[in-house]
Amino acid sequence: MSSNQVLFVSSNRIGDCVISSGVIREIARQVPGARITVACGRPPAPFFRSAPGVERVIVLDKKKAAGHWLDLWKQASGERWALVVDIRGSALAWLLRADRRIVYSRTWETGLPKVEMVTAMMGASAPLEPAIFLDDRARAEATAVIDPQLADGAGPGPILALAPIAHQPGKSWPADRWGELVRRLMAEPRFAGWRFMPVGGPGDHPPAAPALAVAGDRAIDFVGKGDILASAAAIDRATLFVGNDSGLMHVAAALGRPTLGLFGPTEWWLYGPRGPRTAIAASNPVRGGFAPIEDLTVDRVFEAVLALHDAHAG
C-alpha cells in the first residue's frame, strides 16, 4: 500500500511561510488524503497548526554546524514519504526515503514574483495563492485583547492595523515617521473615529512606541499580545492595513484586507503584497533601482493611505 505521508520543509520566516502557503492545498491535490508534516522555524510554527491535512509541525531551532537539519533527519528518517517538498533547498530531501521530491534550487529564480515561482516549482496549473488558516483559538485570543481596548478610550470604530516592524533594518520605515503618519491620519476627516492598532511580536515595542503614543486613547495595542495566528486574527478585524515589507504585510494581503506595503531597497516587484486590494509605496519605484527606505516620505505614505481608504473603505 502506498504511503500518503508528505513532508513539507518550509521557512523559518513568517513572510516566506505565507508566500508559500498555497503549497498545502497543492499537496492535497497531488497526494489524495495527504497526511502532512511541516518543518519550519519557531516564529511561524503556529501558522500551520490548523492548516488542512497538517497532522504534525516540527519546529526547527537553528543550531551550530547545521545541527537542526540532523535533528530533523532523525525525526523524519524512519518514514517512507510519498512526497517531500523542500522550499529551503536543503540536502535533507535526498537523504530521506521518498517516492517523489520537489526541492527548491536557484534555477527557479527567473524573475517571477515569488508566488509564481512556487507555483512553477510545484508544477501547479494555477497560481498557488497564499492562504491564512485561522482557527477559533486564534480568533478568541485576538478578541480577548482587542474588545476591552475597543470599549475603552475613544470607543468602537473602524481599525487601521499598522505593522511598523521588519526584521531587516533596510526594510524598516523609521519609527518616528509612523508616529507622524498616525498624527496626520487622526487629523484627517476620513479617519474620524478610527482606532489605530500596531501589531507585532514581543520584541517589536520600540518601533511601535511612537504610533501608540501619538494615537493615545485611539490606540489598540496588539504588540507582543499573541503568536502569528492570533496576530493574523487581529489583522482580520481591521478595515485597512499599512505595514513594512514583512510577514504581517503578507498575512494582511492573504486575508483580503486592503493592504499598503512600504518598501525600501527590496524588490517590491517580487515580494509585494498579492491581490486586487493591495498597493505599495516604495522609495525605489523603478524596478532595479536603489533608494533607502528613509527616502520614503510621510507625505507619500499619507497620500497612499488616503488612496487605499478611498478605493476600499470610503
Domain boundaries, the chain: 5-122, 137-312
Vertex 233: Cα angle to 171 and 140 (nearest 5): 145
Using CA atoms of 89, 13, 267, 276 in order, give the dihedral in degrees to the nearest 10.
110
pLDDT at 244 over 60: yes
Q: CB-side exposure of 40: number of CA atoms within 13 Å?
A: 28
Kindly report, residue by residue over 87-126, the tens digit of the pLDDT: 999 999 999 999 999 999 988 888 889 999 999 999 999 9
Kindly report, residue by residue over 27-56, the tens digit of the pLDDT: 999 999 999 999 999 999 999 999 999 999
Q: Per-residue DSSP letters for 223-246?
A: ESSS-HHHHHHHHHT-SEEEEESS
Residue 64 confidence class, pLDDT cut points 50, 70, 90: confident
In the beta sheet, which residues pair with residue 243?
163, 261
- What are 78's three cell numbers? 524512519
Cα 52 from Cα 250, distance rounded (Å) = 20
In the beta sheet, which residues pair with residue 197?
161
Residue 233 confidence class, pLDDT cut points 50, 70, 90: very high
Q: What average pLDDT does this structure show over 128-150?
A: 97
Cα 231 from Cα 251, distance rounded (Å) = 9
Query: Which CATH code, of 3.30.1490.20, 1.25.40.10, 3.40.50.2000, 3.30.390.30, is assigned to 137-312?
Result: 3.40.50.2000
193, 157 contact by CB (below 8 A): yes
Domains 5-122 and 137-312 share a fold: yes
Mean per-residue pLDDT of the chain: 94
Alpha helix (H) residue ranges in the chain: 14-19, 23-30, 67-76, 92-95, 114-122, 136-151, 175-186, 205-215, 228-236, 247-254, 268-271, 298-312
6, 31 contact by CB (below 8 A): yes
For the 5-122 domain, the top CATH level (class) is alpha beta
Instruction: Give the pLDDT score at 167.
Output: 76
